[in-house]
Amino acid sequence: MSLLEVRALSAGYGPVEVLHGIDLDVDHGEMVVILGANGAGKTTTMRAVSGMIGRSGSVTFDGVDITRTNAEKLVGMGIAHVPQGRGTFPDLTVMDNLRVGAYARSGGIAADIDRWFAVFPRLAERRDQRAGSLSGGEQQMLAIARALMSHPKLLLCDEPSLGLAPLITQEVFEVLKKLNADEGLSVLLVEQNANLALKVAQRVYLLETGTVVASGSAAQIASDDAIRKAYLGA
C-alpha cells in the first residue's frame, strides 16, 4: 500500500471548485512531482492534502484515513508541508523557526537543529537573525529545514524554486534529492520548472484545470512528445 493515497479529491475556495476529483499516490521513499500550468490546481492539491482547505473524496496516509483530520494534527502523524513562497516566520529568528518546526514533538530538538545546520551551513551562520532578513534562497532552505524538524515521513513542497536564482534552485533540489535518496524521505513536489523536476522525481502527475491528464514515470513523461511540447518547451 502506498504511503499517501488520494482518491477522487475535490476541493476549492468557497463556492468555486478548483479540483475536480483527482487520484494520486506517493509510495514509501518515492519522490513524486506534480506539473502543470498556472491555475491548474497544483497548490490547491497540496492545500487539500494537508487539510488547509475543505475537501471531499478520500485521503489516506500510512493506512489511516485523514480526510477529516485537522491540518494541525497531520504534522504529528508525519506530513510536513512547506507552503508556496512563505514557509517561514519572518519575525522569528532562524533558531526559533526551527524550534517551531519541532512544535508537535519533543526530545532531541537541539541535536536535530545541529543536524540541519550541518546540512544548511548558511542557516547556522544566521542562526540569530530574523528569518525575514534572509535571502530568498536561505528562506526556502529554512522553510524546508523547519518542515524537516517535525521528522516527517512525507514532505509536501510547494514550488520551492519560486523567485529563486537558477543556481540556488539547483542547490535546493540537490538537498531534496539527497534527503530522498539517503534518508528515504517521501516527497510530493509541485513545480513549474519541469526540466528540473523531471531530473529529480521518479514519478509525475500532470495537472490541467483541476484534473489529472497524464501520469507515469519521469522517464515516460520526459519522452512523450506532446508533453514535451506543451510543458518542456522543446
Partner 1 sequence: MERFFQYLFDGLSLGSIYALLALGLVVVFRGTGHLNFAQGEMAMICTFVVWQFNDWGVPLVLSIILGMIVGFALGAGVEATIIRGVAKKSQAGVFVVSIALFLGLNSLAAMIWGSLPPEQLPGLFPDEPDDFQRIFGAVWRYEYIGVLAVALVLMGLLFLLFAKTKFGLAMRAVASNPESARLAGIPTGIVLASSWGIAGAMGALSGTLWGGIVGELNAGLMFTVFIYASAAATLGGFDSPGGAVIAGLTIGVGEQFLAGYFPGWIGQEMKLSAALLTIFVVLLVKPSGLFGSTKVERV
Please, is 174 exposed, middle or buried when counting C-beta atoms within 10 Å of its C-beta (0-12, 13-18, 19+)? exposed
42 binds partner 1 (CB under 8 A): no
Q: Cell numbers at residue 178, please?
A: 539527497
43 binds partner 1 (CB under 8 A): no
66 versus 147: smaller Cβ distance to partner 1: 147
x/- map, 2-41, partner 1, by CB under 8 A: ----------------------------------------
Please, is 70 exposed, middle or buried when counting C-beta atoms within 10 Å of its C-beta (0-12, 13-18, 19+)? exposed
d(CA 163, CA 158): 12
Indicate which single residue of 12, 41, 87, 210 sits in contact with partner 1 (rule: CB under 8 A).
Answer: 87
d(CA 90, CA 142): 11
x/- map, 116-155, partner 1, by CB under 8 A: ---------------------------x--xx--x-----
155 versus 197: smaller Cβ distance to partner 1: 155
Q: Are 179 and 147 in contact (CB under 8 A)?
A: no
6 versus 204: smaller Cβ distance to partner 1: 6
For 38, phi and psi rounded to 5 degrees? -55, 135
155 versus 206: smaller Cβ distance to partner 1: 155
* Distance in Å, CB of 221 to partner 1, minimum: 29
38 versus 70: smaller Cβ distance to partner 1: 70
81 binds partner 1 (CB under 8 A): yes
162 binds partner 1 (CB under 8 A): no
Stretch that binds partner 1, among 17-25, 93-101, 111-119, 168-176 (CB under 8 A): 93-101
d(CA 229, CA 30): 26
Q: Are 116 and 154 in contact (CB under 8 A)?
A: no
62 binds partner 1 (CB under 8 A): no
103 versus 220: smaller Cβ distance to partner 1: 103
d(CA 14, CA 211): 19
Q: Where are the alpha helices (DSSP H) in the chain?
A: 42-49, 71-77, 94-101, 109-119, 121-125, 136-148, 166-183, 194-200, 218-223, 225-227
| Interaction site with partner 1 (CB under 8 A) | 50, 52, 71-76, 80-83, 86-92, 96, 99-101, 103-104, 143, 146-147, 150
